[in-house]
Amino acid sequence: MAAETQYTANTGMVAISTANTNLDGTGTLGTVLTAAANGTWVKRVYFKATTNTTEGMLRLFVYNGTTTRLIAEIEVASVTKSTIDETFEKAIDIDLSLQSGDILKASTEKAETFNVIAEGLDWAYYSSSVRPESTNYTANTGTVLISTANSNLDGTTGTYGTALTAGASGSGWKGCIIDSITIKAIVSTTADGMVRLFVQDTGSGTKLLTEIAVPIITKSSTARSFVQQINFPAGLQIQAGYKILVSTELANSFHIMVDARDWKYPA
């Protein structure tokens, strides 16, 4: 019998109500969901107000045990509930694989109460009898903060942040599939500039993969800071041990989130 992926629902829920204007992960955050041993696939997150709302912002973060990274901002509309008017609600398809122990957190810009519900799925594998060609995946969620200006395109000169390291071949990993990379500004205003992504091999070879133009955007309590997600529809496969490096043209601060999965085969 081939290995079968077995899913277990992991429904995260929390109520948040303490005002928090910060984008760097400080201040009061609510814990929505914690990822399981092989990882947890977060499909969708629901937000539902239980009070009247004013224009503001909801934010989602990922905490990896050391650092907290902003991954999304959701605009809140001004809504007054009544017997025939529903309170504010929003659902977003997040489609994010969190690695073991990662925690999805949430905050609210205004001191208004929201329920946050995450639709998650933990995965495991049937292990009693497997074929060697069966593929096992483990989430590899990479994050980094970049803020030092670097105008170079050679991948070696200046300052770079390591956003992801693929599982090492010595540990049995055959490579890493990158589904998406999210770039999220955590400054009040971004200037016209550039964020650059590089691929680095296990030696010293580093090559520029792509550039992302950053426009002038000023955040407020009702306007999101700059964000862009790069999707790889068929997955970007990189070799075991390779890295994704990131730099910023200007000294603006960005959280980088890489949604990826290492793969190996049962012995």
Residues 142 and 256 in one domain: yes
The per-type count for the chain, helices as H runs and strands as E runs, is 0, 18
Find the Cα–Cα–Cα–Cα dihedral 149, 195, 164, 71, rounded to 10°: 110
CATH number of the domain where residue 150 is located: 2.60.120
Token pair 């980088």: residue: 256
Structural domain for 242, as ranges: 136-264
The Cα–Cα gap between 244 and 225 comes to 23
Question: What CATH number has the domain bearing residue 20?
Answer: 2.60.120.40
The secondary element (H helix, E strand) that includes residue 164 is strand 161-165
66 and 118 fall within a common domain: yes
DSSP SS3 for 170: helix
Q: Is residue 154 part of a domain?
A: yes
Q: Give the predicted TM-score (pTM) of the model.
A: 0.81
Place of tokens 């997040």: 94
Which amino acid, one-letter code, is at 194? M
| CB 261 within 8 Å of CB 137 | yes
256 located within any domain: yes
Domain shared by 31 and 98, yes or no: yes
Q: 255 and 142 share a domain?
A: yes
CA distance 2 to 72: 38
Burial of 11 (0-12, 13-18, 19+ CB in 10 A): exposed
For 27, 28, 35, 124, 188, the CA distances from 23, given in Å and listed in that order, are: 9, 11, 22, 34, 9
Q: Which of 64, 91, 125 is the last residue of a domain?
A: 125
Q: Per-residue confidence of the chain (267 residues) as pLDDT tens digits?
A: 345 677 788 989 999 999 999 999 999 999 999 999 889 999 899 999 999 999 999 999 999 999 999 999 999 999 999 888 899 999 999 889 999 999 999 999 999 999 999 989 898 876 665 554 577 889 999 999 999 999 999 999 999 999 999 999 888 899 999 999 999 999 999 999 999 999 999 887 899 999 999 999 999 988 999 999 999 988 899 999 999 999 999 999 999 999 999 998 776
> Quick one: CA torsion of 218, 221, 225, 229, rounded to 10 degrees?
-150
What total number of domains does the chain contain?
2
Q: Same structural domain for residues 96 and 169?
A: no
How far is 180 from 91, CA to CA, in rounded Å?
Answer: 20
Residues in the chain: 267
Q: Does residue 130 belong to any structural domain of this protein?
A: no
Same domain, 111 and 213: no
- CA distances, 15 to each of 12, 50, 263 (Å): 11, 9, 36
